[in-house]
Amino acid sequence: MTYKVEFIQLSAAEKRTTNGTVKVEGTTVKSVPNPDQIDWSQEPGVLSGTTPGKSGQQNVVVADFHGSGAQQKQTVKRTRAR
């Protein structure tokens, strides 16, 4: 499956301090300890990747990120792995 996390309208300070994880079915598939791993060359900033998923079944994806004291957490359920 392919995942894409968008970082919308973050301040310069938030961009410098953003870190977090992307988990699929509770397993960390991407750890971002350093904001340089996020593509900030566009608005919104983007972090994307691929990981195995359960074909034809629901896959729970949780993106949990922090920056400058703020937290953004999003849970998305997808029913088809690619």
Strand order across the 59-67 sheet: 27-32, 19-24, 59-67, 70-78
pLDDT at 70: 58
Which CATH number fits the domain that encloses residue 60?
A: 2.60.40
The answer to whether 30 and 60 have CB atoms below 8 angstroms apart is no
What integer pLDDT is reported at residue 65 of this predicted model?
Answer: 87
Range of the domain at 44: 2-78
Q: Answer whether 29's CB lies under 8 Å from 64's CB.
A: no
Structural domain total, the chain: 1
Confidence at residue 82, expressed as pLDDT on a 0 to 100 scale: 47
Query: Distance between CA 39 and CA 81 in Å, rounded?
Result: 24
Mean pLDDT, contiguous 10-residue spans, the chain (82 residues): 86 89 92 93 92 79 79 56 47
pTM over 0.75: yes
